[in-house]
Every structure is written in C-alpha cells, then in structure tokens.
C-alpha cells in the first residue's frame, strides 16, 4: 500500500464485507489477504472496504465494488514499464537528473481499454492519467522517492508496480 510519501509499511488493516453475503477475508503465510467466496454466495455486486491505519494514527480508506458470481478473470500484467526507453520491470531504480524530464511508458498484456495512472513522490507528473507521460524534476528536488504506475484493463482488472527513484551520485 502506498501514500504521498511512497510505500506504507506496518499498517493495521481492517476489512469490512457485507454480512450474509457468503464472503470472508482470509490471510495467508505471506501476509496477503484474500477474498473468499462460498459456494452458497448469490451473484451480486458487493462493496468491500479497507481501513488502513498507519503507525502515526492516520487512517486511509479504500472501497471496491466486487462482482460475486461472475466468471473468474485474471488481473492484467505489466509487459512494459519504462523511463526514457529503459525497462523498470525488474525493479531497477529510476535515476533522475534534477531539472530534467523523463518520458514514462507502460503497457498491459490484456484489456479492451487500458488506462494508466502515474504517481511520484519526487517531481511532477502533470498528465498523470496519460500514457506515455512525462515526469519533470526541479533542480532542488529531493534526493530519493518512489514512482508508481497503476494499470487498469477496462474489465475490472488492475495491476501496479513501484520503483525507487534516486539522483545519480
């Protein structure tokens, strides 16, 4: 999970699911949470909410409509995530020059209407819902931060990636 300052670690998570909908949240050994749908669940669109509380007591809320009983669909995968033509798919650090501009590009493996949102804790992305787009940095920019891309396939699927950003030494 992330926020304006980048990745958020050590969050207290509280899920809310509709009572009687035949749904449950389960946790696995890796720390991941999963929505489990019972065989008795009736087809419906249900809202699931998540309250994440940081160690500083800041509360962040997210709500998602989930279609129960629909055919299973896989989330898309990022097949391209680049800064100035250099791949970031392997989690490489994006090196940025203060006062410069970097062209950001992404591509999904599937979807009828792919859409992207870009977020950075360093610099400015004016067209943050465009693909490709540009990240502009100022001369007095911070020395490090995070770049996040969120891809949606237009069919309810979503994926994201984040990479650290740093000024060259």
What pLDDT is stored for residue 102 in this prediction? 95
Mean pLDDT value across residues 145-163: 90
Strands 158-166 and 94-95: parallel
* Residue-averaged pLDDT of the chain: 87
CB 107 within 8 A of CB 80: yes
pLDDT in tens, 9-67: 778 888 988 888 888 888 888 877 888 888 888 888 889 998 888 888 888 888 888 88
Q: What topology is assigned to 78-166 in CATH? A: Immunoglobulin-like (2.60.40)
User: Where exactly are the structural domains of the chain?
Assistant: 2-68, 78-166
Q: Which residue has the tokens 């309810």?
A: 156
Helix (H, G, I), strand (E, B) or coil at 66: strand
Look up tokens 């890796």; give the residue. Answer: 30
Would you say residue 75 has pLDDT above 70?
yes
Do 124 and 136 contact (CB within 8 A), yes or no?
yes
Class of residue 30 by CB neighbours under 10 A (exposed 0-12, middle 13-18, buried 19+): exposed
Nearest residue to 123 via CA among 133, 115, 109: 133
Does position 169 have pLDDT exceeding 80, yes or no? Answer: no
């Amino acid at each position: 999970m992330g926020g304006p300052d980048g990745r958020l670690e050590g969050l207290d998570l509280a899920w809310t699911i509709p009572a009687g909908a035949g749904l449950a949240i389960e946790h696995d050994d890796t720390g991941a949470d999963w929505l489990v749908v019972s065989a008795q669940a009736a087809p419906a669109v249900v809202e699931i909410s998540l309250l994440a509380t940081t160690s500083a007591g800041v509360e962040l809320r997210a709500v998602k409509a989930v279609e129960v009983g629909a055919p299973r669909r896989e989330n898309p995968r990022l097949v391209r995530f680049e800064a100035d033509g250099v791949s970031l798919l392997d989690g490489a650090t994006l090196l940025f020059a203060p006062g410069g501009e970097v062209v950001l590009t992404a591509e999904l493996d599937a979807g009828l209407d792919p859409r992207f949102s870009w977020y950075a804790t360093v610099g400015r992305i004016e067209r943050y819902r465009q693909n490709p787009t540009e990240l502009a940095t100022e001369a007095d920019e911070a020395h490090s931060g995070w770049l996040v891309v969120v891809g949606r396939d237009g069919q309810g699927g979503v994926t994201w990636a984040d990479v650290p950003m740093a000024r060259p030494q």
